[in-house]
Structure 1
């Protein structure tokens, strides 16, 4: 099929443009396609990781229900080593810490909580780990270490829990005036409907602190 002069000029222009830019465009397309493939592959990988971690976490929960601490610890270790970047790893470590503590294995409980603090990707899980670890340090009379742990890196939504735990440590140190301030701060920052308020109020009253109105 013959081309008229205008069509031939257009074809010539396209060929010239392609000779100048075609190689670059090809590489741009290759990079774009590779990026899309990588993104798709990563999402698939993440979904697979999450699914497998979820299955292991279910096994861990069954072990908790059976009070099989050894199996709980094995499952938590597996999730942490294989799926350490998932939320399940942090939840598993927190659950395993409680299981170990209930089994009087304080050393393992501390290790699990410290793992969350060091490796957790969510500030909320790290905050829970810090507050629980501070409680263990309180039992061990490591008061300064516990207070230091609670001094930074905890989201504001945990302010009441942090103040409550600080109050416990300060009472153990016989720093009663400071403990009163901490407990009162916990009450001030805690939701009025939170049932935990009653326990904090009892602790405050026990050290002769100012009363706070309870919501029945």
Structure 2
């Protein structure tokens, strides 16, 4: 048996007093710190909720401007505010997507690349936002003539419903680069993966048919499903 088991109440009390004398101050500090941290956590959480609500309001203003066809600079001011002041929110990521789209429309591909790389820096790895940013970045790089960098992204693969879109984009980049045989294989992969719909189906099918030898055209489906590359609204995939 341990000696402690033979201690009398007085001995145990004395031991407790000595322990408190030696450790009481640090314990008290720890308790105060724990209480402060608990209060701090609640305060931080409330602040984060308020921060998110403010970001949501700005994002809704951005969407309203887009829906009414407001000038790009008016929409951009809301996007810039989200990126500069609410960088850690999903709303900021979608604001960067918006600015990248404006840049592409104005043929400012380096600026589009900058915005998409910003999204990749802030989005969770493997999230829908990250995969969409990679997909669009690859297209921007391909359009800029940076074929190998674009293919390195696309051939890295994507999970789930983005896989077919990556393959279709790979086909587009290869076709632009004049690598028709490789482009045909990429389009065939996109068709095999499925999960696509809308006008992209006709686009992929037409491109594939244009690359197929005439003898096998009759075996090519007219329509294939395509992945929707539209931006996810905040809260999806994050």
**TM-score normalised to the size of structure 2?**
0.73
Is residue 150–residue 162 contact of structure 1 (8 Å, CA) maintained in 2?
A: yes
Of 166, 170, 175, which aligns to 1:162? 166
1:154 Cα offset (Å): 4.8
Cα-to-partner distance string for 1:77-121 (whole Å, 9 max, x where unaligned): 111110001101001111222234345555543332232133334
Cα-to-partner distance string for 1:124-149 (whole Å, 9 max, x where unaligned): 22321222233233333332332234
Q: Residue 51 of structure 2 aligns with which residue? A: 49
1:16 Cα offset (Å): 5.7
Is residue 53–residue 79 contact of structure 1 (8 Å, CA) maintained in 2?
A: yes
Is residue 167–residue 183 contact of structure 1 (8 Å, CA) maintained in 2?
A: yes
Q: Residue 228 of structure 2 aligns with which residue? A: none
1:215 Cα offset (Å): 6.8
Query: Greater CA deviation, 83-92 or 66-75?
Result: 66-75
Specify whether residues 173 and 215 from structure 1 end up closer, same or farther in structure 2 by C-alpha distance, changes over 3 A only. Answer: closer
| 2:187 counterpart SS class | helix
1:130 lines up with 2:141 in the alignment? no
Q: Residue 36 of structure 1 aligns with which residue? A: 38
1:96 lines up with 2:95 in the alignment? no
1:201 lines up with 2:210 in the alignment? no
Aligned length: 208
**TM-score normalised to the size of structure 1?**
0.79
Q: Which ranges of structure 2 fall in alignment gaps of 5 or more residues?
A: 1-8, 214-218, 226-238
Is residue 155–residue 170 contact of structure 2 (8 Å, CA) maintained in 1?
A: no
1:78 lines up with 2:87 in the alignment? no
More RCO (CA 8 Å, sep 6+): 2
1:174 Cα offset (Å): 1.7
1:172 Cα offset (Å): 1.3
| 1:84 counterpart SS class | coil
Q: Residue 4 of structure 1 aligns with which residue? A: none
Partners of 1:16 and 1:140 lie apart in 2 by 74
Partners of 2:157 and 2:27 lie apart in 1 by 48
| 2:75 counterpart SS class | helix
